[in-house]
Amino acid sequence: MSILIDDNTKVIVQGITGRDGSFHTEQMIQYGTNVVGGVTPGKGGQTILDKPIFDSVSEAVAETGADVSVMYVPAKFAKGAMLDAANSDIKMLVAITEGVPTLDVLEAYEALTTKGIRLIGPNCPGLISPGKCKIGIMPADIHLQGKVGLISRSGTLTYEIVKELTDAGLGESTCIGIGGDPIIGSKFVDLLPLFEDDPDTESVVIVGEIGGQDEVIAAQYIRDHMKKPVVAFMAGVTAPPGRTMGHAGAIVGGEDDTAAAKIAKLEEAGIPVAKVISEVVGLLQG
């Protein structure tokens, strides 16, 4: 099994006619993802990559039965696209777009969650259940179907750890890039229960970074509620206070936001933390 997506998932693409949207739609289709259409306001009735285009997410869902929308629209149009999804019966929105203003995300997040729609992102690489479904921009060829779940704030570190898992023959059940902005739709603590309940996930890797308290909250949840082994990696050990590092949310605002403080909380909860990426596999196998 996997979590959130599988080979039965029907996907629509918001921004399918744009440069990034069309490129990554083609990549998803080549991987085997069941892309059933796209959304570009004003271009309804046209086709691209042999997929129908609709003017709204609501129309696309009604016509195709789509479960998930993935969004590649520019940041200035992101709030409108997210609110469009909130006005539909879609089950999950994966927002790849980066640079979305925080207040726009807050407004859209409230609208989506009020409807019971899960948000992944924004500013994330998406998610993949190897051999079943790829939604977003993750490179497909490094993934291997297996038993390790992965949740990461960093896209690039996700790829590096996935390559280690694949080379070791462990493989992945589902990999999720949750994004590194100050406000994101789904956090570690929102996704860990799904991996705990998935019979085909045997262990989990979480990848954190400086800024915020999500990793500390996750450590408490893992300690109190998870039976499956969890291994962590924390980026930003040498990051200076007050400087944004990579993501808008990756900034040390206080002593508890540092990598060292988070590593201490994770280890206090009994979660092994890899000092370098190459240690992750050994910690899982040990």
Q: Are residues 116 and 144 in the same domain?
A: no
Whether residue 137 contacts residue 31, with contact meaning beta carbons closer than 8 Å, is answered with no
Residue 256 has what pLDDT? 60
pLDDT band of 1, cuts 50, 70, 90: low
Give the list of residues 6+ apart from residue 22 with CB closer than 8 angstroms, or none: 16, 48, 49
User: To the nearest whole number, what is the mean pLDDT of the chain?
Assistant: 92
In tens, the pLDDT along 16-48 reads: 999 999 999 999 999 999 999 999 999 999 999
In a domain, 271, yes or no: yes
Which among 24, 143, 225, 247 is annotated as catalytic? 247
- Distance, in Å, from the CA atom of 134 to the CA atom of 34, rounded to the nearest integer, reads 9
Q: What is the mean pLDDT of residues 68-81?
A: 98
Q: Are residues 94 and 155 in the same domain?
A: no
Domain boundary among 92, 120, 148: 120
Domain that holds residue 240: 139-285
Least confident of 82-86, 179-183, 267-271: 179-183
In tens, the pLDDT along 239-251 reads: 455 445 454 444 4
Residue 238 has what pLDDT? 43
Domain boundary among 59, 92, 120: 120
Q: Say whether 247 is catalytic.
A: yes
pLDDT band of 2, cuts 50, 70, 90: confident
